[in-house]
Amino acid sequence: MTFLRLNKKSQMAAAIGVVLVASLLYFYPSKACQFPAIYNFGDSNSDTGAASAAFGRLPPPYGETFFGKPSGRYSDGRLVIDFTAEHLGLPLLNAYLDSIGSNFSHGANFAASGSTMQPVNAKLYEAGFNPLSLNVQRLEFEQLKDRTEEIYAQAEGSQITSNLPKPGDFSKALYTLDSGQNDLHYGLMKLTMKQLKESIPYIINQFSLSIEKLYQKGARIFWIHNTGPIGCLPFFVITTPPKREDTDQSGCINSYNEVAQEFNKQLKEQVSKLRTQLSGVALYYVDIYTVKYSLIREANKYGFLSPFGYCCRHYGDSSLRCWEKEIRNGTEIFATSCSDPLKYISWDGIHYTEAANKWIANHILDGSFSDPPVPLGKTCRSPGFSN
Ligand SMILES: *[C@@H]1O[C@H](CO)[C@@H](O)[C@H](O)[C@H]1NC(C)=O
Ligand SMILES: *[C@@H]1O[C@H](CO)[C@@H](O)[C@H](O)[C@H]1NC(C)=O
Percent of the chain with pLDDT over 70: 88
113 catalytic? Reply is no
Check whether 303 has a pLDDT greater than 50: yes
Closest CA to 144 of 181, 183, 175, 179: 175
CATH number at residue 48: 3.40.50.1110
- The catalytic residue among 47, 115, 351, 370 is 351
Q: How many domains does the chain have?
A: 1
Q: Which atom of ligand 1 is least distant from the CA of 106?
A: 4
Question: Would you say residue 71 lies in a domain?
Answer: yes
**Which of 158, 163, 166, 169 gets mutated to test ligand 1 (max ligand atoms within 8 A of its CB)?**
163
Per-residue model confidence (pLDDT) at position 158: 63
* Confidence grade of residue 384 (pLDDT, cut at 50, 70, 90): low
Per-residue model confidence (pLDDT) at position 7: 52
> Residue 329: CB within 6 Å of ligand 2?
yes
Closest CA to 46 of 264, 371, 305, 352: 352
Question: Would you say residue 18 lies in a domain?
Answer: no
* Confidence grade of residue 347 (pLDDT, cut at 50, 70, 90): very high
Compute CA 113 distance to the chain's CA centroid, rounded to the nearest angstrom.
11
Q: What is the pTM of this model?
A: 0.89
Q: For the residues 7-24, what does the mean pLDDT come to?
A: 50
Burial class (CB in 10 A: 0-12, 13-18, 19+), 255: middle
Which of 103-107, 147-151, 210-214 has the lowest average pLDDT? 147-151
Question: Would you say residue 129 lies in a domain?
Answer: yes
348 catalytic? Reply is yes
Give nearest CA residue, ligand 2 atom 4: 329
Check whether 260 has a pLDDT greater than 70: yes
User: Which is higher by pLDDT, 11 or 88?
Assistant: 88
In 10 A of CB 238, how many CB atoms?
A: 12
Closest CA to 181 of 236, 243, 115: 115
Per-residue model confidence (pLDDT) at position 29: 46
Per-residue model confidence (pLDDT) at position 81: 98
> Residue 276: CB within 6 Å of ligand 1?
no
For the stretch 127-184, pLDDT in tens is 999 999 999 999 999 999 999 999 988 875 566 678 999 999 999 999 999 999 999 9
Q: For the residues 245-249, what does the mean pLDDT come to?
A: 95
Q: For the residues 77-81, what does the mean pLDDT come to?
A: 98
- The catalytic residue among 210, 225, 348, 370 is 348
Which domain range does residue 36 map to? Answer: 32-303+350-378
Question: Would you say residue 324 lies in a domain?
Answer: no
C-alpha 328 to ligand 2 mean position (Å): 8
Check whether 31 has a pLDDT greater than 70: no
Q: For the residues 345-363, what does the mean pLDDT come to?
A: 97
Which of 8-17, 106-115, 310-319, 360-369 has the lowest average pLDDT? 8-17
Check whether 382 has a pLDDT greater than 80: no
Give nearest CA residue, ligand 2 atom 6: 329
Question: Would you say residue 5 lies in a domain?
Answer: no
- The catalytic residue among 44, 52, 113, 337 is 44
Check whether 297 has a pLDDT greater than 80: yes
> Residue 161: CB within 6 Å of ligand 1?
no
351 catalytic? Reply is yes
Check whether 12 has a pLDDT greater than 60: no
Question: Would you say residue 332 lies in a domain?
Answer: no
Question: Would you say residue 261 lies in a domain?
Answer: yes
Question: Would you say residue 38 lies in a domain?
Answer: yes
Per-residue model confidence (pLDDT) at position 27: 42
Q: Determine phi and psi for 380, rounding to 5 degrees.
A: -70, -15
For the stretch 115-126, pLDDT in tens is 999 999 999 999
